[in-house]
Amino acid sequence: MKAIVTIMLKTGVLDPQGKAIGHALNNLGFAQVGEVRAGKIIELDLAETDPATAKTAAEEMAKKLLANTVIESFKVDITA
């Protein structure tokens, strides 16, 4: 199973990388772009065969290592 962990800064946390991307896009002529938030995606290959168990394991990994839960939120999606 694959676990896709999407990690984003929580609302209200300053995102300088997102601001820089938004500024650059506007300078390139993409005036329709408003606020930009940058995050990261981590793909895990898990030996687990049960989707619920795989999701629980990936959530524990995110809480303990992958995400800084003070300033970041995460979601886990499981695919076959």
Tokens representing residue 78 in the block:
């499981």
CATH number, span 2-79: 3.30.1280.10
pLDDT of residue 80: 83
Which regions of 1-80 does DSSP assign to beta strands (E)? 2-9, 39-45, 72-79
Model pLDDT for residues 6-42, shown as the tens digit of each residue:
999 999 999 999 999 999 999 999 999 999 999 999 9
Q: Look up the pTM and report it.
A: 0.90
The H-or-E segment that residue 27 falls in is helix 16-27
